[in-house]
Structure formats: C-alpha cells, structure tokens
C-alpha cells in the first residue's frame, strides 16, 4: 500500500505542470496616446502567467521608472493590491511628456524550496507616450536584463521579438530564455505542459528571437545563476537571476 | 462638416490638413503614426505659457512649421511660426483657452496636433 501511495505521489510530481515563475509589470496599455489620458496604470505581481496562478510578491527591493535618461524611484508610491488572489501592487503613473518610459522592478529574493534556490527576477516593461518612441532600446544597466532589438511595443501578432540577454552588462552566449503568455483573457490551453513555457536559446552573441503566435502580453525570462549565494537554514544556496521583459503584441487588423 | 469639440474627455478637433478626412478618419488615425519620420507634437502648459514642441520621430527638431491654434469649438484663434529650435511659446492670456486648445503644427510635408484640455490647464496651473 505504501508502495502504491509513493508511486502515485511520484506520478503526481511527474505530471505537475512545468510552471515557470515570472516577475510581472503589466501596463494598462504600452502605447499611450493623448486620447488615452495622461497616465498609465501598472500592475505588479509574481506569478505563473499562463495558469494565472499568483504568488506573493513581497514589497520589491527597488522599483523605478527611467525616461529621457533619468531614473526616478517609485518604490514608495506602490499601492498594495491583490493580483491573482495574492499580494501584488499597482501604480498609476502620470506621463508628463512624450517618450518611452521604462518601468523596472527588483524583487526581494524569493526562496523556492522545490528548486533549492532563491529566485530574483529583474523585471521591466516599456511604455511609450504620445506617439514618441524615442528611448525604446534603452539599456538600464540592471544586474541582468534583456535589451530589446525589436521595439518592445507596437508589434503585430506573428512578428518576432528579438533581444540581447545581458548579465553584468555583457551578452550571455546561448542563454536560455523562457517564454510564457499572460493567459488573462484568451482562455488558451496547452496541448502539452511543455507548451505552457516555451524555451529558446540565444545565439553566440546573446541574441534570441521569438515569434508570438497571438496577440497579448508575452513574458521573456532569461535565466542565469548568480555568482553569489544566499543563506537559507544555515546553508548557502544558489540564486537564479532572471532578466524578464514583458512585451505586448497587437492583434492583426487585416483580413 | 460637423466639427467635434473638446469636452471633459479629450476630443480631437480637426485642423485644415485633417478636416477633409472627417472625424471617423481622424479617430482611426490617432496618433498619426503611419508616416516615416512621424512628426511628434507636444504642448505643455502652466499658468502663463503654452510651450509647443515639434520634432520628428528620428529625434530631429522641426526647424520650420506653421502653428495653428484653435479653440475647443474648432475656431482658428491665431497662426504662428515655429522657432528654429522646434518650439514655440504662446502666452496663455493671448488666446481664449476656456474650452481648451488645439495646437496644430504643419511642416508642409508632415502635420500633427496636440490637444490642451481645460483639465490640463487646471492641473498644471494648480501644481
């Protein structure tokens, strides 16, 4: 009997969805025109976006916006919110001038017992205001980040998104990039768990390419192991560094 | 042709270069981003001045251009010339801004506009 229970448990483990963790910053709209108003609403979370399964996002270590080369600290103005039934944050940010605003979040290290490691996802997204896309390729200089080679907004579904994976400012050859869809309204289902999180690898220059099959928000997470450890229960544990960027693809309007 | 007016919600007003296309076309065209080297027009306001800025999507400022200032009823208030640095300062008390303003910039080959709503004026004048 014990053997059967153990066997079922093992099967349950094997059958568990390949859920990927994602830091998330989702704007109300990545392209704000003057008829949309004078601000953008942001929702921050830590979750499994395809399954819409939330996790607790503790107050981040840092949250900022960069516009025209200037970075402003927004950590103090984040509002507590429930996102996917878990702790998250919202922010309504005024867009005073045209240009690209890059919102970036450094979360607290998240201890993941199942992976026996900490997770730190440096997460960002780009919002353009009032028809001016200047700054769309801005590199923030984060510990790790995906620097866009495709404009990270204004993409049609089916377009490719390209970016360079960087760690400590240098491209990461053959970096592994996980890709996942924010399944908030589409009702998408995966024929196989392997299709919940897709994976592409960068080339020798750290450049990766992905073509989104449908409109919506897509998250790209380039994962690397940090060159430092963090203590947990008296033991040094590895730290997974994620460079996450959220990009929205728009529905094609032609016939 | 019926001309929309600025209301509590931002309502585009059609300028000469755009009027012919009609409101439906205008709404579908907002923002006018289809052309290469799109002209980006922006106007900020405080209690004294409307500062108009016009530059191309390449980052280059528009060095020449006609600036048409219309009120919320689409009545042309004044026509001015853009400065060579792509800006123009319009004293707020020189125009009737009670119904908002539409700032149209036309460089000859490109045009675009920015709507200054009454809310914009109140918000920025009060801050």
Is B32 within 8 Å of chain A by CB? yes
| pLDDT at A20 > cutoff 60 | yes
Domains delineated in chain B = 16-126 (2.60.40)
Residue A164 lies in a domain: yes
Interchain CB distance below 8 Å, A130 and B40: yes
The pLDDT of residue B21: 35
| pLDDT at B16 > cutoff 90 | no
Residue A8 lies in a domain: no
Which of B12, B57, B120 is closest, CB to CB, to A35? B12
Is B104 within 8 Å of chain A by CB? no
The pLDDT of residue A244: 98
Terminal alpha carbon distance of chain B: 38
| Chain segment B51-103, per-residue pLDDT in tens | 999 999 888 999 999 999 999 999 999 999 999 999 999 999 999 999 999 99
Is B38 within 8 Å of chain A by CB? yes
Give the separation between CA B66 and CA B81, rounded to whole angstroms: 5
User: What residue of B is the nearest CA neighbor of A136?
Assistant: B57
The closest of A30, A50, A25 to A40, measured between CA atoms, is A30
The closest of B62, B15, B19 to B37, measured between CA atoms, is B62
Interchain CB distance below 8 Å, B112 and A98: no
Which of A34, A97, A131 is closest, CB to CB, to B33? A131
Q: Is A13 exposed, middle or buried (0-12, 13-18, 19+ CB in 10 A)?
A: exposed
Alpha helix locations (H) across chain A?
A: 2-15
Least confident piece of the model among A15-29, A31-45, B3-17, B25-39 = B3-17
Question: Would you give the DSSP letter of residue A132?
Answer: B
Distance from CA of A47 to the nearest CA of B (A): 34
pTM of the shown model: 0.86
Which residue in A34, A96, A136, A156 has the most chain B C-beta atoms within 10 A of its own C-beta, making it the best mutation to test that interface? A34
| Chain segment A185-196, per-residue pLDDT in tens | 999 999 999 999
Q: Count CB neighbours of B29 within 10 A.
A: 13
| ipTM of this complex | 0.79
Find the mean pLDDT for residues A24-33.
97
Distance from CA of B40 to the nearest CA of A (A): 6
Residues of A in contact with B112 (CB under 8 A): 131
- CATH code at A95? 2.60.40.10
Q: What angle do CA B119, A31, A138 make, to 5 degrees?
A: 115
Confidence of residue A19 (pLDDT cuts 50, 70, 90): low
Residue A1 lies in a domain: no
Q: Are A65 and A72 in contact (CB under 8 A)?
A: yes
The pair of three-digit structure tokens given for residue A46, joined into one six-digit string: 């830590």
A149: left (phi over 0), alpha (psi -120 to 50) or beta: alpha
The pLDDT of residue B127: 56
Residue A9 lies in a domain: no
Residue A185 lies in a domain: yes
Q: Are B10 and B43 in contact (CB under 8 A)?
A: no
The pLDDT of residue B5: 45
Residue A10 lies in a domain: no
Find the mean pLDDT for residues A87-112.
96
Domains: count for chain A: 1
Interchain CB distance below 8 Å, B31 and A33: yes
Which of A35, A37, A130 is closest, CB to CB, to B42? A130
| pLDDT at A224 > cutoff 80 | yes
The whole-chain average pLDDT of chain A stands at 92
The pLDDT of residue A21: 87
Q: Which residues in A have their CB inside 8 Å of a CB on B?
A: 33-35, 37-38, 96-98, 130-134
**pLDDT: which is higher, B23 or A193:** A193
Residue A14 lies in a domain: no
| Chain segment A145-158, per-residue pLDDT in tens | 999 999 999 999 99
Interchain CB distance below 8 Å, B57 and A38: no
Domain enclosing residue A217, as ranges = 21-250
Residue A179 lies in a domain: yes
| Chain segment B102-120, per-residue pLDDT in tens | 999 999 999 999 999 999 9
Residues shown for chain A: 255
Give the separation between CA B29 and CA B26, rounded to whole angstroms: 5
Find the mean pLDDT for residues A188-208.
95
The pLDDT of residue B6: 55
Least confident piece of the model among A78-92, A120-134, B15-29 = B15-29
| pLDDT at A59 > cutoff 60 | yes
The pLDDT of residue A171: 98
The pair of three-digit structure tokens given for residue A141, joined into one six-digit string: 């200089």
Confidence of residue A1 (pLDDT cuts 50, 70, 90): very low
């Amino acid at each position: 009997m014990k053997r059967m229970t153990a066997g079922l448990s093992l099967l349950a483990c094997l059958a568990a969805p390949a859920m990927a963790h994602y830091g998330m910053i989702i704007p109300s709209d990545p392209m704000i025109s003057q008829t949309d108003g004078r601000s953008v609403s942001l929702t921050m979370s830590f979750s499994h976006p395809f399954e819409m399964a939330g996790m607790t996002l503790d107050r981040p270590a840092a949250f900022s916006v960069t516009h025209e080369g200037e970075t402003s600290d927004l950590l103090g103005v984040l509002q507590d919110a429930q996102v996917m039934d878990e702790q998250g944050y919202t922010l309504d940010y005024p867009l005073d001038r045209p240009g690209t605003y890059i919102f970036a979040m450094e979360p607290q290290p998240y201890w993941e017992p199942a992976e026996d490691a900490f997770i730190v996802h440096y997460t960002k997204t780009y919002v353009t205001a009032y028809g001016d896309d200047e700054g769309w390729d801005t590199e923030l200089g984060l510990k790790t980040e995906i620097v866009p080679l495709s404009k990270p907004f204004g993409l049609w579904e089916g377009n490719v998104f390209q970016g360079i994976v960087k760690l400590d400012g240098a491209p990461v050859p053959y970096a592994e990039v996980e890709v996942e869809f924010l399944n908030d309204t589409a009702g998408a289902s995966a024929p196989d768990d392997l299709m919940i999180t897709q994976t592409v690898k960068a080339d020798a220059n750290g450049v990766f390419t992905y073509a989104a099959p449908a409109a919506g928000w897509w998250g790209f997470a380039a994962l690397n192991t940090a060159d430092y450890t963090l203590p947990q229960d008296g033991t040094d544990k590895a730290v997974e560094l994620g460079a996450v960027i959220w990009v929205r693809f728009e529905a094609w309007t032609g016939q | 042709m019926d001309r929309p007016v600025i209301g509590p919600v931002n309502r585009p007003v059609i300028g000469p270069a755009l009027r012919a296309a009609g409101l439906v076309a205008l709404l579908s065209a907002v923002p006018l981003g289809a052309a290469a080297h799109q002209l980006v027009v922006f106007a900020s306001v405080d209690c004294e001045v409307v500062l108009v800025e016009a530059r191309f999507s390449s980052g280059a400022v528009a060095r020449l251009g006609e600036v048409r200032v219309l009120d919320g009823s689409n009545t042309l208030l004044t026509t001015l010339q853009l400065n060579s640095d792509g800006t123009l300062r319009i004293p707020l008390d020189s125009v009737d801004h009670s119904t908002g303003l539409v700032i149209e910039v036309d460089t000859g080959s490109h045009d675009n506009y920015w709507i200054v709503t009454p809310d914009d004026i109140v918000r920025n004048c009060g801050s």
